[in-house]
Structure 1
Amino acid sequence: MNTKTCSYTTLPTVITISLFFIFCKAIEFQETQPGLQIYNLKTYGDGTVLVNMINPINGNCTQPSLYFRLIHPNGTLESINLNVTAIIPDFNFCRVDVNGISRYYMDFHPLMSQYIFVTYLDSEISSSASVYGILISWKGEIISSNYLSAASATNDSKVLPPGEIHFSRTTGSIGLLYTAAQPVSGDIWWSLYSMPTTTNDRRMTLQRSGVAQNNGGNKVKYVAFPTASGEYCLVVARSFNLIKSSNDSEVLSVDLTLEEHLKIYANFISSLEIGNIVPILLYSSPVQNLDFFEINCDTEYSGLGNMCQFYFVQNALNIYDYSLKITFLSTGAVDTLVTNKLDFNVTGQSIFTRNFTVLDIWRPSTDLRRRLKISNCLRPLPQPFQVNSTGDLYGIQPNNSIVYAQQLDTSSWSLESARIPNISMSDGTSIYFLPDFIVSTYPPIGGLIPLRLNSINITYKQPVTFSTGNIKVFQLSGAYGESLLRQAYSASSGYCNQTTDFLTITCQVLGSTFNQPDATYYVVVESDFVRINSTSEPLLGILEMVWRFTTDISPTEGLDVTTRSVVRLNTLGSEIFENLTNSEKTLFIDQLNYELSVTVPVNSSRLSNRYIYQRDPRVSDIQVLLPLTITNAAPNTTEEGSKLIAQDIDALIKSMNITLISKKSYAHFLDSSFGVSLAHDLWQDYRYVIIAFIASILLLTLLFLIIHFRNSSAVVGPVLKFLLSLLNLVMNLLFTLYYARAVKSLYLPSLIILIGMMTLREAFGLFLIRREIDRNSKLHNWWKKHRFIVSFFTSLSFVDIYSLEVLSSQITSSQKLHAPFSPTIRGWIYWVEFIAFFTNDVTLFVIQIIYYIYTLHLDILPFLCFISSSAVIIFNILWRTNHLTLYCRRKKDNHGDPREVGRRDEHDSKGKKPYIIFDNSSINETSSNESLDNQRGTSKGPVVEKSATVSDPL
């Protein structure tokens, strides 16, 4: 591929004005397959050029294959070669003569970005022939086949090529219009289809169809175009009573009573309406022997509605004699009629660009080179323009470049482009490619803006009101100069407001939109974004690549750090995610992070993947939280800092209805009400809380040790255990109620264990205190004096049964905590809590470990709960190890007789309360009579229970 450029080339024109063409460029391509020739050229809205190649096999037919060449805006070439003999019949690749013009049955259209639409016939038999269209991706894949219409045929049953395809290069919302003239009746058939999208399997659906009837016209010509109001206008011109003479000249009919020899109708076709369309008469003429040669129609660029340019001939001369311009509103009301006498010979075809009213390619008889003429131009431009090319294949790009393709030899061809410049007039002013009804924009075209600019505005010449069209912001990026959508919303969405004079519209811009330094952005304003106040006529918008500007450079300052954050899936996304396999979940997270990196945009390597998730415990519905870790940017670079990226993603998600997030396969499952939440570094953010919590536990332990050493008769171990259990119960309740839902299948086991153990502990506490009161006369007498304190600590048995031992702890001098418990109840308390240690404390501790393995560590309370559970586990292990050590030592000292150990303990303790490990006979050895005596206080002496005891220093 060879490239050559030219700039500032002075070219002669028909009149004595010199024109400077800039951005002129020619690119040569070498084909590897010999025999390929250029046949046609068309352009996409993003500037991509689509070239159709053919491989002739004889004078009339070509090889039955599709050969396309895509030339991207940066000059990169892609080839698409498809053998379609199984789909498209071979006769479509042969020429047919239609009204003296040789055509192939097959045609192609740049329907939408990334796709090519090819129309063809399925049969040569007029009675059964139909028109079909296949959608082909730029990757060469055939996506779908779509029926369009029955084929047209002549009087002698000759099947004609497919009709015309009409579509908007700026929006696909108005669909695709297929039209075809019927030679026999003169009627115009039309069918309106929805554009192929992912939601309809890339197939087109028929929305409306109809017939624009001829009603007696001798000659019919039509044109269809999309209007600014989001519908199609089908303009049909009919000549009446024109009769061909023997020498093919046209003469007026002898019916002199006929007053109208020419009629022009407008048919407005919208997918939002139903029923038959009523044609609106735009123009009629009584001029005799009048016929039309060419019709051009489009939206009127000054905001006056629609415009058609008609070229008429008289006396059968094959020249444009004079032209007629009609401007009419979307209601069909005619605004102006202007006729112009043409003073030069035009034999070319008219084409359009949205920056001028009508752009003609024409060739004077004295010069073989093609030239440009702006007919009916609204600006004082020097014209005609001349293009230094003799090629016949041309197209208009959205940046006002004209592209030509030329066949150089049998194996090479070239593509040449020349941009119509911003012309500097003699008064020093510059012409920019904005519609005439726009006074100015901010940012200005070609301007430099600060990063994170939060608003843009447009000033109009006339007062306007909001309508339904969208305003979109794009960023140019990628190897092919792809356009990345940053945000899009309608004028009536609430993001735009007007000044009091209704001339200026200001629209909000997300902070995440203009976030890339030294980047090129452009704004697209759709047609019908606003309407003129006085007429309610929709105004045209601003096309791609026209309203362009660049952001300033702002390097990252200081040292950036890695940012940890989380995003949340919505309920549907969470359900889908949890039903995936582990490998599918990994793919989901990878693709989600990649899509987020594209929408920011940022290098995907800066969004590191962590394949872990948890449910959000704060919401009643099941919603999954996923980690989002953004690595730090290199210092003194133009890369965004990690926290700014997190802010951008947050804005993109929360405003996903107007950003690219809603269009992504995985990112659209994100919860817009959540956005991005920065994850806490528990130690960094809560280290003082953690230290204070641990210190409080240690201080509590120290306090009870001090109490024990100051009061040797106090038994502080059970009291400390009870208080630690109380703290741990509160933390476990909070953890279970508010955080256990974060991991699937943890909440219910945690709740069952907590409620079950609380219930069993309370039941055992009531049973043991009741039994002890009934069997222990001393306790019975003491209980009568301290009923409230007994009831209070008994009711706290659900926390820990050692709450009963608090009654006998003697940590105060008051008799309220001097309950005379027997060794039996102490043994029961010991063993019940020994079992509860494993069924409750250890089990809940394991649940918390599982929680920390499978969660993102976002909150401080689960961590504090883990600390409290650890404290309880450690205390129980140390405390019970101490008990076992004392028991074994004293058992050894007494030669293995546990009863001697108990008796010696009672003797040595001198009033201290012994601690009972276990009594295997005391429960059954006390008779019912003794129990009754104890209740009445009439026992002759205390009941001596057989038990094994050891003293407890705590």
Structure 2
Amino acid sequence: MKPNLFMIFILALSSFTEIHTYTENTYNISENGLHFSRGSNFVLPNGSFLFRFYRPIDKDCNEPNLHLRILYKNGTLTTFEVENFSIPNKNFCRRYPQNPSIDHIEIFPFLNKLHLLYNNFSESDITAPIGRKLLTISLEGKILRDIWIGPQDPQFSGSFRFTDNTFYYFLPVDLDTFLWKKYDPILDGTGFIEIDNGTASLKYLSLQAENPPLKFATIDKGIGYIYSKNFPLQNNMTTDSLQPSIIIYVSFFIPEINDFTKPFIIYQTAISNITMKMSMCNPDITKFQYTCVIRLITSSSTTKLLLISFLSSGSVIDIQELYNEVYLNAFLVAKSNLYYGGYFMLYFDDPLGCKFGGEIYDNNDHWYSKLENFTIPFPCVSFSNDDENSFEMISEITPNSFTLTTAPLPKFVDDGRNYKLVMANIESVDPSYGSKISLGRDKLQINYANSIALSIRNITVLQINNEKNAIRQTTSGNISEFCSELDHKTVSIKLLRSTFNQPNKEYMIYIESNFVKQSETHEPIIGIKPFVWNLYTENEENPYAESFSGSVCLTPEGTDKFLDSNQTEFLYQLIQEISSILPVDLDRLESKGSYQIDASTQVIIPLQIKSTKDTYKRNADSLQKDFDIMIKYKGFTEISMNNYTSFLDQTYGYKYRVPTSINCTIAIISIIYENFYNNQFHEWFKLHVTVTSIFTILGATNIEALNILSSKFAGLSMFTANYSERIQIILFWVGLLDFIIEDIPQFIIQ
């Protein structure tokens, strides 16, 4: 997700602990007149760099072109084109006159895709409502998704807040009320989706108009609020009164309840005429707490700088006062984790962030090194290179070229682990990332460095595909059927046989923050981002297996939709989704024959999986077993996440279907046999040919239908057939066989 500004510069400064080791490379810009944009510069998953440029056309706007460039590892700089890209030209106009590089477009990477925020300005009506939209773009330049985020009110501008892999959209309604929307990534990689929204009130916080709250990101996809309240001293009070003149509070916004937690105090003082002017808060993922750098100013312009650590429960861990003159005089100060352990205390001397410096501390918070002020040219282009553990910055810009300076970051934890495992406090995983595994693997194991307890967020296994990843299995930490804690540090995850089911494929395991929490403080532990714990299945052959004829059952809701809609289209869409989810070639799925309605009035649909002679493709027998499990555990597989497969009844699964041809043959032979060898039946048959024909046809679906003819129902003569003992025995055993194959598995599940 898009890093915030102070984190970028934390990385910048940390690179200069070994200032003599950085390298510089100069690259030519093929087009004259291009300028570096301040935002939208980052490293792609393949290690290449993506830069955005702009070209001014007048004092207000830039050229309506993204001017994206990719710098490959071999030094080649090429244009990145987005197919069929068309957004209102006004997006390329400047938001701030003093900074021509900042327009209305924001780009950030996630899940091997680019995500572009823009405004849907009306080109013809300047009074038309303005809204924010989000484009998802593949690394091949194809637009995958274009969604509406929310309005941009002229009086109260909407804002975004990124936290973990989630982002929030906030739109003030008035001074006390705001609209909010929460967006999570669609794990198949095709974009983001709105998962929650609401209208919330700030009245519970009892804010003072002159002290607006400041937001900060939490580990568990939430938003924290820090704010102060001033209490001017009365005439009869002295400065040594116990009555505080300022109190600083923290509260957390919880989207699940659309409300704030009870505010708690992290600091108060009786010093008179003092106000909070700045606060920069961050999660400390090593100590499982939050740390805020807070600037207080007195009426005499005296600065007081505090470093406060606390838990989300409200317990204040530590309060330190910082006396360093450089920090006291800086525009902004922040403290944050480095990737391989340790911390950085950062300061900015310039509001635009081009002049900065700081100090680095090791894992134990002991001083490691001091860094001098460093200046890079406007527009301050800098970003981290996670995989190389380095910081990149544009240190020199000319009309025809630019110089990229690369500086390594310190490693306080250097044991060969990926930095994302280090940040997640994970000692090891089994299988280790990059391993080859067998099909049908039934377990994953995670070993943590600290004592943990299972929590509420998810672990998900995905199969990696070019444009759309496939979700194979997902479960939260508190589902005991799949997740178990072994020794307060180890988590074991049970896998379905359908999870790793494709030979010679790449999979990744994505762990959300708060999948586990620290056992003593109950603070959430950060998860593993995508494309870190990747596994590869062996290229195993499958023996040949005959086609499988089975059936699926729709839920009552699905039955209603099926009967009320175009049934041919419903079946087409259902088969399309099954093909994608299993996965299996579409031409190997077929729904032959008519649907049935069982005794509970649910539709049963025949579905055949055809055989294949390609031994490197899953045979029909394996696919049938996988599909059956995926339906029965549909809440943990992609079956529940699609428009049509979500209607499949998990108590039914995918079961063998006795071919209608067998039942039909038995029914016809039984009627013919009785006519030749049972005189009583023959006499009855001559009077009821039509009824017998109807129930013979029904017997093709369920052989038990023939027993209705001998049921003596309502005393009607048409239901008084007299079967011979031989035929009664045949009908009994065939009916029992149908029951064993089709009904008993469902009965056991229920």
State whether TM-score is above 0.5: yes
- 2: CA distance between counterparts of 1:630 and 1:34? 60
Taking the TM superposition and a 5 Å limit, the aligned residue runs for 1:404-443 are 425=414, 432-434=419-421, 435=423, 437-443=425-431
1:488–1:116: structure 2 CA closer, same or farther, 3 Å change rule?
same
Task: Structure 2: state its 5+ residue gaps.
Answer: 1-12, 138-142, 187-191, 233-237, 725-734, 740-750
Q: Do 2:293 and 2:306's aligned partners in 1 also have CA atoms closer than 8 Å? A: yes
**Alignment counterpart, residue 676 of structure 1, candidates 654, 658, 675:** 654
Displacement of 1:645 in angstroms is 2.1
Q: How far apart are the structure 2 equivalents of 1:458 and 1:540?
A: 14
Which range is displaced more, 548-557 or 724-733?
Answer: 724-733
Q: Which residue of 1 aligns with 2:478?
A: 492
Q: In structure 1, what is the Cα distance between the partners aligned to 2:486 and 2:95?
A: 62
Instruction: State the SS of the aligned residue for 2:646.
Output: helix
C-alpha contact (below 8 Å) 1:463/1:533 kept by paired residues: yes
Match of 2:7 in 1: none
Match for residue 438 of structure 2? 450
Q: Which of 151, 172, 194 is matched with 1:147 structurally?
A: 151
Question: 2:223 — aligned with what?
Answer: 232
Q: Using the alignment, how far apart are the partners of 1:484 and 1:499 within structure 2?
A: 27
- The answer to whether 1:614 aligns with 2:574 is no
Instruction: Give yes or no for contact 2:483–2:493 (8 Å, CA) kept in 1.
Output: yes
In the alignment, what sits opposite 1:592?
574
C-alpha separation between the residues in 1 aligned to 2:718 and 2:417?
89
Conserved in 1, the CA contact under 8 Å of 2:152 and 2:158? Answer: no
**Partner amino acid for 2:40?**
L
SS in 1 for 2:612: coil
Q: Which amino acid aligns with 1:207?
A: T
Q: Distance in 1 between matches of 2:442 and 2:403?
A: 44
The 1:445/1:344 distance shift into structure 2, 3 A limit, reads farther
Say if 2:542 is the partner of 1:544. Answer: no
Superposition pairs of residues 259-274 of structure 1, within 5 angstroms: 264-273=248-257
Alpha-carbon deviation of 1:499? 4.5
Aligned length: 678
* Structure 1 unaligned regions, length at least 5: 1-10, 123-127, 153-161, 242-254, 705-716, 763-795, 804-857, 863-954
Distance 2:106 2:389 in 1: 21
1:38·1:52 contact (CA, 8 Å) conserved in 2?
A: yes
Contact 1:269–1:277 (CA<8 Å) still a contact in 2? yes
Q: 1:448-597 residue pairs with structure 2 within 5 A? A: 448-478=436-466, 483-499=469-485, 501-546=487-532, 548-581=533-566, 585=568, 587-597=569-579
Answering whether residue 200 of structure 2 is matched by residue 208 of structure 1, we say yes
The 8 Å contact of residues 133 and 150 in structure 2, kept in 1 or not, is answered as yes
Counterpart check, 1:165 vs 2:169: no
Matched, 1:644 2:635: no
Q: Secondary structure at the match of 2:432?
A: coil
Which one-letter code corresponds to 1:58 in the other structure?
Answer: D
Aligned in 2, Cα 1:692/1:665: closer, same or farther, shift over 3 Å? closer
Distance verdict in 2 for CA 1:201–1:232, change over 3 Å: closer
Show CA shifts across 1:389-441 (max 9, x none).
Answer: 9883344577687786869888999999999798884xx66564323644433
How many angstroms apart in 1 are the aligned matches of 2:162 and 2:241? 38
Report if aligned partners of 1:726, 1:799 keep a CA contact under 8 Å in 2: no
1:664 is displaced (CA, Å) by 1.5
Question: Could you say if the C-alpha distance between residues 292 and 696 of structure 1 is closer, same or farther in structure 2, counting changes exceeding 3 Å?
Answer: closer
CA contact (8 A) 1:522 1:545 kept: yes
Q: Per-residue deviation at 1:233?
A: 0.5
C-alpha displacement of 1:58: 2.1
Q: Distance in 1 between matches of 2:612 and 2:477?
A: 38
Q: Which amino acid aligns with 1:634?
A: D
Amino acid at match of 2:459: I
Q: Which residues in structure 2 correspond to 1:491-890 (within 5 Å)?
A: 491-499=477-485, 501-546=487-532, 548-581=533-566, 585=568, 587-602=569-584, 604-605=585-586, 607-610=587-590, 612-616=592-596, 618-635=598-615, 637=616, 639-679=617-657, 759=716
Q: Counterpart in 2 of 1:951?
A: none
Alpha-carbon separation, structure 1, partners of 2:400 and 2:250 = 47
- Matched ranges for 1:250-399 at <5 A: 264-273=248-257, 279-284=263-268, 295-302=279-286, 304-310=288-294, 324-338=306-320, 355=339, 377=363, 392-395=380-383
The answer on whether the counterparts of 1:45 and 1:169 sit within 8 Å (CA) in structure 2 is no
Q: Which has the higher helix share?
A: 1
For the residue of structure 2 that corresponds to 1:640, the secondary structure is coil
Separation in 2, partners of 1:13, 1:737: 78
Amino acid in the other structure paired with 1:565 = G
Question: 2:148 is matched by which residue type in structure 1?
Answer: S
Distance across 2 between alignment mates of 1:55 and 1:475: 41
**Residue 563 of structure 1 contacts residue 678 of structure 1 at CA under 8 Å; is this kept in 2?**
yes
CA distance in 2, matches of 1:532, 1:203: 27
Contact 2:253 / 2:259 at 8 angstroms: preserved in 1? no
Displacement of 1:556: 0.7
Secondary structure in 2 matching 1:652: helix
Instruction: Indicate conservation of the 8 Å contact 1:61/1:94, yes or no.
Output: no
Distance (whole Å) between structure 2 residues aligned to residue 405 and residue 80 of structure 1: 31
1:163–1:729 distance in 2 versus 1, CA, 3 Å: closer
Contact 2:177–2:202 (CA<8 Å) still a contact in 1?
A: yes
Aligned partner of residue 508 in structure 2, secondary structure: strand
Over the aligned positions, Cα root-mean-square deviation in angstroms equals 6.3
Is the Cα–Cα contact under 8 Å of residues 675 and 682 in structure 2 kept in the other structure?
Answer: no
Q: Which residue of 1 aligns with 2:57?
A: 57
Q: CA deviation at 1:166?
A: 0.8
Select which of 102, 105, 108 maps to 2:106.
108
Q: Which residue of 1 aligns with 2:732?
A: none
Partner deviation per Cα, 1:563-618 (whole Å, 9 max, x = no partner): 4433333333334334444xx71x5444333322322334x35x424353423354
C-alpha contact 1:466 1:491 (8 A) present in aligned 2: yes
Q: 2:561 is matched by which residue type in structure 1?
A: I
The residue type equivalent to 1:281 in the other structure is: I
Counterparts of 2:367 and 2:494, CA distance in 1: 35
Partner of 1:923: none
TM-score of the superposition, structure 1-length normalised?
Answer: 0.55
Relative to 1, partners in 2 of residues 1:341 and 1:349: Cα closer, same or farther, differing over 3 Å? closer
The one-letter code of the counterpart of 1:227 is T
For residues 669-696 of structure 1, the C-alpha deviation after alignment (integer angstroms, 9 at most, x for no partner) is 222222222445789xx89x98999799
Percent identity reads 16
Query: How does the TM-score come out when normalised to structure 2?
Result: 0.68
Q: Which has the bigger relative contact order, CA under 8 A and spacing at least 6?
A: 2
Distance in 1, matches of 2:294 and 2:441, equals 46
Amino acid at match of 1:473: V
Q: 1:226 to 1:488 in 2, by over 3 A?
A: farther
Three-state SS of the structure 1 residue aligned to 2:590 is: coil
Secondary structure class of the residue paired with 2:267: strand
Residues 293 and 334 of structure 2 are in contact (CA less than 8 Å); yes or no, is this contact kept in structure 1? Answer: no
